[in-house]
């Protein structure tokens, strides 16, 4: 398992969430549009990117990688309390920390966002995204909701 409370991982996952909400794209699409190299750059320089407002950083990456707008709007579809992008970033951060080693962080980000669990974490009309980190990690490892 990776180091807990990894602030670079937290920022990276939160930025992916912010970009996804801004352009109305599923988070898997955002990781595909950025690619592993850009995700690694975000992760490695998170302390620098974090000095800027996240909206500016997101706009820069949207422009640089020409990420198109779509119609995936899980925020508007939510009938209940909408978690903020920092909260969802933390859910993904914890899942990667709990399932991958420190030297596997980028691969862990890629695998999590490309797995079955991404659809469930992006559905704010369920209670799955705010379950305990241990439960979410156990579900991910098992390949299904337990």
What is the rounded radius of gyration, in angstroms, for the C-alpha atoms of the chain? 14
How high is the pLDDT of residue 101? 94
The ranges assigned to domains in the chain are 7-68+83-142
CB 97 within 8 A of CB 3: yes
Judged by phi (left if over 0) then psi (alpha if -120 to 50, else beta), residue 45 lies in alpha
Rounded to whole angstroms, how far apart are CA atoms 8 and 10?
5
Which has the closest alpha carbon to 135: 143, 145, 127?
Answer: 145
Percent of the chain with pLDDT over 70: 99
Global pTM value? 0.94
Contacts of 119 (CB under 8 A, 6+ apart): none
Helices marked H in 50-132: 54-64, 85-99, 105-113, 117-121
How many Cβ atoms are within 10 Å of 64's Cβ, its own excluded?
10
Q: How confident is the prediction for the chain on average, in pLDDT?
A: 94
Rounded to whole angstroms, how far apart are CA atoms 52 and 57?
7
Rounded to whole angstroms, how far apart are CA atoms 44 and 30?
18
Task: Write the pLDDT tens digit of every residue in 46-69.
Answer: 999 999 999 999 999 999 999 999
Rounded to whole angstroms, how far apart are CA atoms 57 and 53?
7
Task: Write the pLDDT tens digit of every residue in 10-39.
Answer: 999 999 999 999 999 999 999 999 999 999
């Amino acid at each position: 398992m990776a180091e807990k409370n990894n602030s670079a991982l937290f920022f990276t996952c939160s930025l992916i969430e912010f970009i996804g909400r801004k352009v109305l794209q599923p988070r898997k699409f955002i990781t595909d549009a950025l690619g592993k190299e850009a995700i690694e750059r975000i992760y490695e320089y998170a302390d620098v990117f974090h000095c800027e407002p996240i909206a500016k950083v997101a706009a820069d990456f949207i422009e640089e990688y020409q990420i198109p707008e779509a119609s995936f709007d899980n925020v508007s579809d939510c009938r209940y309390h909408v978690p903020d992008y920092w909260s969802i970033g933390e859910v993904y951060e914890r899942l990667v920390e709990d399932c991958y080693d420190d030297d596997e962080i980028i691969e862990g980000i890629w695998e999590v966002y490309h797995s079955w669990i991404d659809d469930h974490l992006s559905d704010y009309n369920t209670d799955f995204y705010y379950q305990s980190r241990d439960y979410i990690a156990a579900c991910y490892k098992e390949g299904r909701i337990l």
